[in-house]
Amino acid sequence: MNKGAIIAGALAALLTVPVLSQSAAQPSATNPNQPPPHTAPFPDLASGEGQAERRKSYEFSPELQRGVSAAQIREQQRRLDTALGALAPQRPGVADAYVLTIALDSDPVFAREAREAARVLGARYAAQGRTLTLAGPDGARDDRPHGSITALLLALSHVGSVMDSSEDVLVLYTTSHGSDIGLAYHYGDSGYGILSPTKLKSALEEAGIRRRVLIISACYSGVFVPALASPDTAILTAAAATRNSFGCVAENDWTYFGDALINRALRQPVALDEAARMAGRSVAEWETEARFLASLPQVSIGAGVNQWLTAIEVGKPQVASALVGRPAFDKAALMARAAKPQPAAQK
């Protein structure tokens, strides 16, 4: 069963949330870059009396850290401060793009996706020196500030302070599990939280970031569209507000949506809206072949977006670049699983 469905059902009932990850990896003494597994239940972060009040409390994006040493906190703060300090200032008279990618779950598929998304988006939008990735270890490296709700809010605040809101653009890519109340932050057994549409909206407004391309890869990510839509916002989500998305197996290099949009469509010499349509068609084809209920990726492009999008897309690829990593949809593997004898049902 898709983990997003588990999250949504549990949170809707306001009970303790079960493990969100599909990770089976265990810590490795020989590989310090192995991400921490999820072994403990996701805690109930709600507050208040009654179901409605407790559900509404998630709008404040509760976040919990437990079992984290002072040295670990200091190391992550050092990494974040260094990365933020390295961002280049905006250039007066030039529409600069600032690219921010974040993996909010320690399952390595998300870290891999966030890292490559930064490379693709940074190249597409000429954001060299203005690109930041927040992601934990992916099995091969652990060289970035880890993704968390707090790290994202601090990063948005800093980016807003170095941008010129009248001409510069934020390109934000988030990848994680999700539920119908927001994105799940889940780092091993030590970090938990929910990033709500309301909180992300307020963070962008507080940072003064008006022009933005927001790409949200998670189950139920369509819940962000009503809150974040504006004349100067382009929003692309992996799923409708009531649907799961797919491919978030820990061992993967990509989710379905990330592979379709970042690894394929946005490497092409096409505009953003056409890339979104290409990605939607790819996802629909893969889901049909896998016999999954359609995720229905969403696209919302504000009326004023085209007035500034052309300026940052002037450097989009002239020739498609090579795909990276293993494809999220593996038809041969799917057929092999389908052909495998199933155990007899128990009476």
Q: Cα separation of 293 and 327, whole Å?
A: 20
Q: Residues 160-211: pLDDT tens digits?
A: 999 999 999 999 999 999 999 999 999 999 999 999 999 999 999 999 999 9
Q: Cα separation of 233 and 212, whole Å?
A: 5
Which pLDDT value is given to residue 12?
A: 46
Q: Residues 264-278: pLDDT tens digits?
A: 999 999 999 999 999
Residue type, position 10, single letter:
A
Listed in sequence order, the residues at least 6 apart from 241 whose beta carbon sits closer than 8 Å to its beta carbon are 180, 220, 222, 223, 225, 298
Segments of the chain scoring below 70 in pLDDT: 1-29, 337-338, 342-347
Burial class (CB in 10 A: 0-12, 13-18, 19+), 179: buried
Domains identified in the chain and CATH numbers: 3-37+46-53+67-334 (3.40.50.1460)
Tokens coding 52: 């409605």
DSSP strands (E only) in the chain: 63-65, 97-103, 131-134, 169-175, 178-179, 182-187, 191-195, 212-217, 233-237, 298-301
* Gyration radius of the chain's alpha carbons: 19
Which pLDDT value is given to residue 345?
A: 42
Residue type, position 193, single letter:
G
Query: For strand 97-103 and strand 169-175, is the pairing parallel, antiparallel, or unpaired?
Result: parallel
Which pLDDT value is given to residue 335?
A: 75
Q: How many CB atoms lie within 10 A of CB 306?
A: 14
Which pLDDT value is given to residue 332?
A: 82
Which pLDDT value is given to residue 196?
A: 98
Which pLDDT value is given to residue 22?
A: 43
Q: How many CB atoms lie within 10 A of CB 30?
A: 5
